[in-house]
Amino acid sequence: MDQILALFADPAVWAALVTLIVMEVVLGIDNLIFISILTNKLPEAQRARARAIGIGGALVMRILLLFTLSWIVALKEPVITLMDKGFSWRDIILIVGGLFLVYKATKEINHATEAHAAGDASETKDAPKPVTGNIASAIAQILLLDLVFSIDSILTAVGMTDHLPIMVIAVMFAVFVMFVASGPIANFISKHPSIVMLALGFLLMIGMVLIAEGFGAHIEKGYIYAAMGFSAFVEFLQMFRRKKSGTAH
């Protein structure tokens, strides 16, 4: 206990904690978008439960990974070599997770496009339609992506600080923010079909970034999130314009 108190007496530790919390919250956006898209396909009565299980799974995975840091660090060691390129377990997980995200985003975009082409006149014609009784499948997919995002999140934390209590606090705070924001974000996405397509585009881009990183390409995350933020800002301007002109979503 004395060691922990002494640790938090250092201003540099507080600076690291704040920085890491911001980073973890930003990294959690990817996870949250995927959870929102997937749970919005479920019947409304099951959505909150699926979101809670998915975000709870993200917390459990992150905490467990934090207490196996030596194993996490070992994930960066090459285990196979293809065409003179070494691939670690981390690379393989990122590639598989990226491919899964690209597949899911492409499938949902195709579904939305076909629904629009078929002339569905419902208010949510561009949104993926609810799939009754598919909560187990949705949770399984969420937990799969939780693992990918959790490993990325913990490796980021390890690179920023050596203090386990700091990592645990930052991760728990970030997941708490995800939990609080999950309902409003999911509801907002559900009510605005154009946001659904934008979010799917984000997932497609994130999937490609994960694949690129798995193959060893370093992509500065700041550029990715800046592009996502600018796209969201433009979409919000469009929504405001449509609201002012009285046109439909």
pTM summary value: 0.70
Which amino acid belongs to residue 112?
A
Handedness of CA 230, 108, 211, 145 (dihedral sign): positive
pLDDT score for 124: 46
Which amino acid belongs to residue 40?
N
User: How many other C-beta atoms are found inside a 10 Å radius of the C-beta of residue 41?
Assistant: 22
- How many angstroms separate the CA atoms of 238 and 217, rounded? 34
pLDDT score for 125: 44
* Residue that has been written with the tokens 């433009």 in this structure: 234
Task: Yes or no: say if 200 and 40 are a contact pair by the CB < 8 Å rule.
Answer: no
Strand 78-82 and strand 85-88: pairing? antiparallel
**Max CA-CA distance within the chain?**
67
In terms of DSSP H, where are the helices of 161-220? 164-191, 193-214
Q: What is the pLDDT along the chain (249 residues), one digit of tens a residue?
A: 555 556 556 667 677 777 788 877 877 888 888 888 888 888 888 888 899 998 888 888 888 888 787 677 677 788 888 878 888 888 888 888 889 888 888 888 887 777 666 655 454 444 444 444 478 888 888 888 888 888 877 777 776 666 777 788 888 888 888 888 888 888 888 777 777 788 888 888 888 988 998 888 887 777 777 888 888 888 888 877 877 776 545
Domain ranges of the chain: 2-245
* Residue that has been written with the tokens 């670690």 in this structure: 88
